Amino acid sequence: MNLQPSPAPYLADPKIASLGAQIGDPVRAASFPKAVLRFRNDRWAASVGLDDLSDTQWIDHFGRFTPLPGNLPEPLALRYHGHQFRVYNPNIGDGRGFLFAQLRDHEHRLLDLGTKGTGTTPYSRDGDGKLTLKGAVREILATEMLEALGVETSKTFSVVETGEELWRGDEPSPTRSAVLVRLSHSHIRIGTFQRIAFEDDAERMSALVHYVLTNLYGATPEENPAAQLMQLAVGRIADQAAAFMVAGFVHGVLNTDNINITGESFDYGPWRFNPTWNPHFTAAYFDQNGLYAFARQPEAMHWNLAQLAISLRLICDSAPLVEALESYGARFQAALVRRFLWRLGVKTNGFDADRALVEAAEKAMIHSDIPIAEFFAQHRGGRIPNHWSGEHYASFTALLEGYQSNMTDDADVSLPTCSMLIDEVETIWAAIAERNDWTPLHDKVNAIRQHGRALRQR
């Protein structure tokens, strides 16, 4: 499913410079009263040759932002626009973070180290540019859990507590502060294309398309590079939507500025995992209309892709862009089925049968209160436990009986349930807030990683 970390030497490659000065504004990190290392992701640091850093060096780079060797001399607050809840906003951009470094991994993929909570930039508007420690802890939990469930996601690379008191309307305040570094497969968003279209700059649009094709998709630009990119992006973003559904995940803020052109999921704010397969479940309290509710996420991603197509019109005819958009439904369905079978741990019986199985599973869950994580754990390898019943459930198990386990070793079939529901998130945070006890967080991360290893076993 998703790419696993593989050791690689440190290889700086600040390619962003090739996009010219208008891609971002040089900024400085805020200076913080304290820098206490709370989380370092050595698993992924090894994939970019940074796991050998001592804690002191680590804090120097990821708490104080001393440039990495041969990398960006100054951080860049990236420029972008975006539709926020379907309203176009030309006043956004990196308001509390920046691009810090770019590196190649063992597959020569271009990865970014980007920040959250490094202080104000030209795009901060009325914000303080800071991140709460709770926000950082929540992002660790979301990224670890999604990665385990096979979702292509940014990785939480580092969290350093910064010793400030922040005031927030949606957290008991004052609250602790942190700076987070994420490792991600680019920070070029659909909103990056929208800004260039808004500025009506065809030359820069072509340059951006070229950058994304060559550096992020490893593709050779063809006769119509914009159409080529549109096809690739539809495939990746349809897969991202499918991945969210199979993970039972609600991102919460699927605005165009939060959609990475590589289809890698990122920027975790009010996210939640859906306890049951409730189509209407929302994550963000400010999403009163349920625009980004669980089952509306695939449609939201399609709408976002339409905004990419509209931006690419600047350099491309509409026909091939529309053709790519029209392939979304079929590609989403194919990804949904593939991922659903993967999480169930069963072999395919052909697309039509698989599609019927997934539909029956969705129905069985919608018409019951079976927790999603338990549903997958209990049926893993095609097993049928005897705790659930009902008409819809029976239709599902009748189909599942025709499926074979995808695992070679029967011992691997039984998988303990691993979920990440809001109550547990709050309990993990409470231990930190009340007693500065980080053990529940680290225990949970270890349990999630073990779950991820078990899911990948075949």
Q: Catalytic positions, please?
A: 257
* Residues 34-73 as x/- pattern, contact with ligand AMP by CB under 6 A: ----------------------------------------
DSSP-derived letter for residue 12 is: B
Residue (94 or 354) nearer to ligand AMP, CB: 94
Binding segment (CB under 5 A) for Mg ion, from list 100-108, 254-262, 287-295, 311-319: 254-262
Q: Are 334 and 298 in contact (CB under 8 A)?
A: no
Say whether 49 sits in a helix, a strand or coil.
Answer: coil
Burial 174-189 (b: 16+ CB within 10 A, else e): ebbbbbbbbbbbbbbb
Give yes or no for residue 94 binding Mg ion (CB under 5 A): no
Minimum CB separation of residue 258 from Mg ion in Å reads: 5
Burial 29-52 (b: 16+ CB within 10 A, else e): bbebeebeebbbbeebbbbbbbbe
Residue of 112, 124, 153, 93 whose CA lies nearest to 13: 112
Could you say which of Mg ion, ligand AMP, none residue 127 binds, taking C-beta under 5 to 8 angstroms by partner kind? Answer: ligand AMP
Contacts (CB under 5 A) with Mg ion, residues 266-285 = 267
Helices 328-344 and 297-312 meet at what angle, rounded to 10?
140
Can you tell me which of 2, 71, 124, 368 binds ligand AMP, judged by CB under 6 A? 124
Give yes or no for residue 150 binding ligand AMP (CB under 6 A): no
Minimum CB separation of residue 95 from ligand AMP in Å reads: 3
Give yes or no for residue 176 binding ligand AMP (CB under 6 A): no
Residue 299 in tokens:
């449609």
Give yes or no for residue 154 binding Mg ion (CB under 5 A): no
DSSP 129-155: --EEHHHHHHHHHHHHHHHHTT--B-E
Between CA 439 and CA 442 the distance in angstroms is 5
Could you say which of Mg ion, ligand AMP, none residue 42 binds, taking C-beta under 5 to 8 angstroms by partner kind? Answer: none
Reported as type and span, the H/E element at residue 99 is strand 99-104
Phi first, then psi: give them for residue 102, nearest 5 degrees: -130, 140
Residue (193 or 396) nearer to ligand AMP, CB: 193
Residue of 444, 449, 438, 440 whose CA lies nearest to 420: 444
DSSP 175-209: EEEEEEEEEES---BHHHHHHHHHTT-HHHHHHHH
What is the size of the binding site for Mg ion (CB under 5 A)? Answer: 2
Contacts of 445 (CB under 8 A, 6+ apart): 140, 141, 144
> How distant, in Å, are the alpha carbons of 143, 223, 237, 397 from that of 323?
33, 16, 15, 37
The β-bridge partners of 183 are: 113, 155
Minimum CB separation of residue 64 from ligand AMP in Å reads: 20
Residue (27 or 213) nearer to ligand AMP, CB: 27
Residue (138 or 331) nearer to Mg ion, CB: 138
Could you say which of Mg ion, ligand AMP, none residue 94 binds, taking C-beta under 5 to 8 angstroms by partner kind? Answer: ligand AMP
* Residues 84-123 as x/- pattern, contact with ligand AMP by CB under 6 A: --------xxxxx--------------------------x
Binding segment (CB under 5 A) for Mg ion, from list 200-208, 215-223, 262-270, 331-339: 262-270
Please state, as a whole number, how many other Cβ atoms lie within 10 Å of the Cβ of residue 422: 13
Minimum CB separation of residue 109 from ligand AMP in Å reads: 24
Can you tell me which of 42, 60, 128, 412 binds ligand AMP, judged by CB under 6 A? 128
Give yes or no for residue 390 binding ligand AMP (CB under 6 A): no
Between CA 458 and CA 150 the distance in angstroms is 14
The single-letter code of the amino acid at 438 is W
Residue (152 or 267) nearer to Mg ion, CB: 267
Could you say which of ligand AMP, Mg ion, none residue 269 binds, taking C-beta under 5 to 8 angstroms by partner kind? Answer: ligand AMP
Minimum CB separation of residue 375 from ligand AMP in Å reads: 31
Residue (76 or 341) nearer to ligand AMP, CB: 76
Give yes or no for residue 105 binding Mg ion (CB under 5 A): no
Binding site residues, Mg ion, CB under 5 A: 258, 267
Binding site residues, ligand AMP, CB under 6 A: 92-96, 123-124, 127-130, 253, 257-258, 267, 269
